[in-house]
Structures are given as C-alpha cells and as structure tokens.
Amino acid sequence: MSSILQGTLASEERLRWLSETLTVDGSVTIAAAAEALQVSDMTIRRDLAELEERGTARRVRGGARALGPQSFAERRQRAGRAKARIAAKLAELVPAKGVVAFDASSTVMRLASGMHAARDLMVLTNGPDTFAALQGLPGVTATLTGGRLEPRTGSLVGPLACRSAAQFTVQTLFASAAAVDAQRGALETTLEEAEVKRSIAQGAHDVVLAVDSSKLGGRAVAVGIDWERVDVLVTELDPGDERLTPYRDFVRVL
C-alpha cells in the first residue's frame, strides 16, 4: 500500500473517531483528541476543519461541538463538489418516463438540473425545495406528498406524508441519508424523516441510496431504509475505493 493511500486511510480513521466521539459526548477537545490519537494539535485542528466543512461539527475554542439536524439551506452549502459528482452518476439512472421519487435531501435535489432526458416523468417528493426546483422542467411533473413541514430538515413528514407516499408505486426512489451504517443501513436525524422514507421505499421497485463519503460509517438517530431495500449505493468515490468495501456485500456500488 502506498504511503499516500496509508495517509488517506489514517485520516479517515481519525475523522471517524472524532465523529463518533462527537456523537457520544457532544463535544471534543483538541488536546484530548491529540493525546488519544497520538497526533499533533495541528493535525486535529485540520481534521475538525474538515468535519466542519462536511457539516458534522462546529469548531469552538479548543475543540468542536456536535451539530444537530441542519436546515436545508445549510445542508445545501455542504460538500458541493461531492454532490455534483453524485448527481452526475444519478442522472444516468433516471428514466425518461414513468414515476420516480426523490427524498427531500440537498444531494438528490441536485438531480433537477441534470434531467435532460425526461419525456413523461412524474416525480414524487416530500421536499418543498425539490418540488420548486422541478417546476418548469420539460417532460417532468412534480408531486408533493403533503404533510407537516419539519423546519430542521426542510422536509414534509408526519402521518399525511406517510399515507400519501404509500399510495404511489414508483420505479425508483432516489434518497440520501444523514449517515450510513454497514450493518443497519441508511440512518436519519429524526424518526419522522425515517418513517416517510420507509413509506416511499415500500412502494418502490428499486432504491438508490446517494451519499457523500463523509456519511459512510457515521451515526444518526433512526434507521430509515435497511440494506434489504437498497439496490444501489452511489457516492462521489471511485467504485473501487477501499472505503466502499464494507458495502459491496449488500448493494451494487457506483
């Protein structure tokens, strides 16, 4: 293994340790992390800056604090390059006709600008922002699930959203997640969000899970979609990247 690859893996391992510590304790100090990981304070500062860029931590004096559920506007600004690469991969999976579903994620919303092949396509979504982005696109008819607006995530949730979603039979659900666990599947920051995604997934022939690599190995509150319902995992990484190895037993990786 090259020294460059070793360095990348070591960095990802540190980031995973920091993310897990933030999830459990709510905060982490630079001094404690540097001692535990046997690296310099400067290395931890760079790692915390990376976590802040990925939207999973907020730096404070001497360390960082965990972030709760972020607003849609905040999430939309995070990991822009990774989301653009993911959207380009997803565009190849969207049919020209039929019915598909998009969740309320900022990752999947990126698809709206790349749906040039649509001819007679209905898109069901529980995301008001996604619904707005789909307006006026040639060959696309957007439909909202209805439901209660969850201000923390910008998505429509609750019994009405779940019942409405369950009435549709869709070819493919395109969904993201707050985190991805190698054993449990796609995780969400709220129980309500998890319930809506499960409702849509129940009526989907295929489920495509699209997440940037910072979500791999992360943690969140609730299981949204388990691996038995996921058919394809899409990230910004090359499909042969070692970070995707734990998921190849469950799904096709793109």
Over range 95-116, report the average pLDDT: 90
pLDDT tier for residue 2 given thresholds of 50, 70 and 90: very low
Work out the angle at residue 165's Cα, subtended by the Cα atoms of residues 132 and 204, and round it to the nearest 5 degrees. Answer: 100
pLDDT tier for residue 233 given thresholds of 50, 70 and 90: very high
Q: Going along the chain, which residue ranges are E strands?
A: 27-29, 57-60, 63-66, 97-102, 120-125, 140-144, 148-150, 155-157, 170-175, 179-181, 185-188, 204-210, 222-225, 232-234, 252-253
> Which pLDDT belongs to residue 52?
79
pLDDT tier for residue 9 given thresholds of 50, 70 and 90: very low
State the alpha helices, DSSP H only, in 119-207: 128-134, 159-166, 191-202
> Who wins on pLDDT, 234 or 53?
234
Name the helix (H) or strand (E) containing 36: helix 30-37
pLDDT tier for residue 20 given thresholds of 50, 70 and 90: confident
CA dist list (Å): 198 to 51, 118, 173, 202, 230: 28, 26, 10, 6, 11
> Which pLDDT belongs to residue 138?
92
> Which pLDDT belongs to residue 82?
85
CB 52 within 8 A of CB 19: no
Look at residues 85, 82, 74, 90 and name the one whose alpha carbon lies nearest to residue 123: 90
For the chain, the average pLDDT equals 86
Give the number of other CB atoms < 10 A from CB of residue 6.
Answer: 10
Name the helix (H) or strand (E) containing 80: helix 80-91
CB 185 within 8 A of CB 203: no
